[in-house]
Structure 1
Amino acid sequence: MRMSEGVEWGLHSCLNLAWVGSERAVPSARLAEYYGLPAAYMNKQLQALARSGVVYSTPGPRGGFRLAREPEDITLMDVVGAIEGREEAFQCTEIRSQGPGAPDEAPAGACQIDLAMRRAELAWRRELGAQTLADVKASVERLAPETPTRVRSWFAGE
């Protein structure tokens, strides 16, 4: 399954917002600048996250984005779903009922390819739903303990 780069951008932005904390909102342009990304496209991803309740937006000159929930209450699936949508990745169109090899009557039972694809997608969704932003945050802090301080410093230098 291929996801848009907006998922990566959204996840990194949420992680940075977790380190910045809830005391201040961060403008989308500043989040984009941190990674050298297009500000308009970053804002689009952040707006999708806001519509899904992952972040909230504060308007005005001191406005920007903050996490809407604690990092332990935001799953990776929340972010993926906000950016990519919640539609199923695989859509069975019953092609087994078409063409010269198709049976005369409707095929018996469920399409086995559809079932296999649904099981795989469910496992993928469960895995992303089991990992929180807090889990990723803790891993980064363990592997690169200087990162939170570096992020906070950079965003404080607005």
Structure 2
Amino acid sequence: MKMNEGVEWALHSCVNLCWIPGRPVTAKKLAAFYELPTAYLNKQLQALTRAGIMSSTSGPKGGFQLARRPEEITLLDVVVAIDGPDDAFRCTEIAKDAPNGDPAVDYRKTCLVGSSMRRAELVYRRELAARTVADIVADVEQNFPETATSTRDWFVAQTS
């Protein structure tokens, strides 16, 4: 399964915004932090805004902020906002065209390959739904205690 690279960018942006609450940050500044293309990151941030994960304000003091508390934003919320809600595996019922296939059978319901893939995806989605942006922030702060301060300082220096 391959996720859009925008998922990584969006999650990092959410984490960074946790360390500068109440302060809108432009897509340009969020992109500059990781040397990402601003236009492409902006598309991801707009997707997060449409999903209610972020809010955006226009104007000279505008930018992006988290629209919900980090404890209320799951990793699955971000993945769905960026990659969409569709299942990663899509049964196209190729078994109908096999030599012993039956065109009258709904193989999406009976195919053991499809059911195995659905079960695996449910485990994957449950794990993503069980972890929040706040969990990541806490893990980063525990494992790399200087990160919150250095990130905050970097963004503050960009507005000075």
The interval holding the TM-score normalised by the smaller chain is: over 0.9
**CA distance in structure 1 between the aligned counterparts of 2:103 and 2:122, rounded to whole angstroms:** 32
4+ runs of 1 displaced by more than 6 Å?
none
Relative to structure 1, is the Cα distance of residues 79 and 104 closer, same or farther in structure 2, using a 3 angstrom cutoff? closer
TM value normalised by structure 1: 0.94
* Percent identity of equivalent pairs: 54
Relative to structure 1, is the Cα distance of residues 76 and 105 closer, same or farther in structure 2, using a 3 angstrom cutoff? closer
Q: What is the aligned residue count? A: 157
The residue that corresponds to 1:14 in the other structure is 14
The gaps in structure 1 that reach 5 residues or longer are: none
Residues 6-155 of structure 1 correspond to what in structure 2 (within 5 A)? Answer: 6-22=6-22, 24-103=23-102, 106=105, 110-155=110-155
Relative to structure 1, is the Cα distance of residues 104 and 92 closer, same or farther in structure 2, using a 3 angstrom cutoff? closer
The gaps in structure 2 that reach 5 residues or longer are: none
Alignment pair present for 1:2 and 2:15: no
CA shift digits 1:88-140 (9 cap, x unpaired): 11111211121323258637861111111111111101100000001110000
TM value normalised by structure 2: 0.93
**CA distance in structure 2 between the aligned counterparts of 1:36 and 1:147, rounded to whole angstroms:** 17
**Which residue identity is paired with 2:4?**
S
